[in-house]
């Protein structure tokens, strides 16, 4: 589903590469935590998958395609297969919960009838069926993140990418979000999550890939956050 083949990414003007000679393969349906100190390259890893950055050398494959060889007009199609969730929720402040989720479908040209079917179904999945008419600032942080998860998943992407999705949430709320990501993973969606949250990684016992200074230093099935953290 995702493959990094000897990938190095050096940002212009930076002495050290953000990622160096990374070889990683993630199969369909896996749940993977990406861990490592601040600046170790986690966000860069995720940005390469989204084609928000391109490798300096090496190849990145998503769903069987080498994504840096895709014509730019095909990039929106690629991104439809990738749902994204971020630490800071990134909801549209003037749209309701329903509209925020519906918007993700409108921009890819889904019909009104599909939107009317898919949005309530997905809001129910995340437990927000009673808050569909609220605005984001009328919701708790955990609820806002649930909206963001619903928006990322409403189109049933093959891969869900989450960059520190629990970074702004308290531990109890974080557990709720993780249950949701776990449920989404059980539908067959591949989940890749960058995190600093040791408690969650230790609790979930999923595959853990650890980066240090841009290099993969650990790739462990049913792993823990780390020994020295």
Ligand X SMILES: Nc1ncnc2c1ncn2[C@@H]1O[C@H](COP(=O)(O)OP(=O)(O)OP(=O)(O)O)[C@@H](O)[C@H]1O
Question: Please, which residues bridge with residue 86 across strands?
Answer: 163
Complex with ligand X: residue 108 or 198, whichever CB lies closer: 198
Q: To the nearest whole angstrom, how small is the minimum distance from the Cβ of residue 223 to ligand X?
A: 17
Residue whose token pair is 């599909």: 114
Complex with ligand X: residue 119 or 191, whichever CB lies closer: 191
Do residues 128 and 136 make contact, with C-beta atoms less than 8 angstroms apart? Answer: no
- Which string of x and - marks every residue 22-61 that binds ligand X (by CB under 6 A)? --------------x-xxxxxxx-----------------
Q: To the nearest whole angstrom, how small is the minimum distance from the Cβ of residue 188 to ligand X?
A: 27
Q: To the nearest whole angstrom, how small is the minimum distance from the Cβ of residue 40 to ligand X?
A: 4
Complex with ligand X: residue 18 or 115, whichever CB lies closer: 18
Distances (CA, A) of 41 to 160, 187, 218: 18, 29, 14
Question: Please, which residues bridge with residue 112 across strands?
Answer: none
Total number of residues that touch ligand X (CB under 6 A): 11
Distances (CA, A) of 95 to 29, 133, 164, 167: 32, 9, 24, 24
| Token pair recorded at residue 119 | 């949005």
Q: How far is it, in rounded angstroms, from Cα 182 to Cα 85?
A: 14
1, 18, 32, 139: which one binds ligand X (CB under 6 A): 18
| Token pair recorded at residue 121 | 């179904």
Complex with ligand X: residue 42 or 151, whichever CB lies closer: 42
Q: To the nearest whole angstrom, how small is the minimum distance from the Cβ of residue 224 to ligand X?
A: 18
Q: Which residues bind ligand X (CB under 6 A)?
A: 11, 14, 18, 36, 38-44
């Amino acid at each position: 589903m995702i493959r990094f083949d000897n990938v190095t990414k050096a940002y212009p003007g930076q002495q050290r590469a953000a990622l160096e000679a990374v070889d990683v393969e993630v199969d369909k349906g896996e749940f993977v935590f990406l861990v490592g100190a601040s600046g170790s390259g986690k966000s860069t890893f995720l940005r390469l998958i989204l084609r928000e950055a391109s490798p300096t050398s090496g190849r990145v494959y998503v769903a069987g395609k080498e994504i840096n060889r895709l014509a730019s007009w095909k990039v929106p199609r690629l991104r439809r297969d990738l749902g994204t969730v971020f630490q800071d929720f990134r909801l549209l402040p003037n749209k309701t919960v329903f509209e925020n989720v519906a918007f993700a479908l409108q921009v890819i040209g889904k019909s009104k009838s599909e939107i009317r079917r898919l949005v309530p179904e997905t809001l129910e999945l995340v437990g927000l069926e009673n808050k569909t008419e609220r605005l984001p600032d009328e919701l708790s942080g955990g609820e806002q993140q649930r909206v963001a998860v619903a928006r990322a998943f409403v189109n049933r992407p093959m891969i869900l990418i989450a960059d520190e999705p629990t970074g702004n949430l308290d531990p109890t709320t974080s557990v709720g979000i993780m249950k949701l990501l776990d449920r989404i993973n059980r539908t067959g969606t591949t989940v890749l999550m960058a995190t600093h949250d040791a408690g969650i990684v230790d609790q979930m016992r999923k595959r853990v890939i650890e980066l240090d200074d841009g290099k993969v230093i650990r790739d462990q099935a049913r792993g823990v956050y780390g020994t020295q953290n």
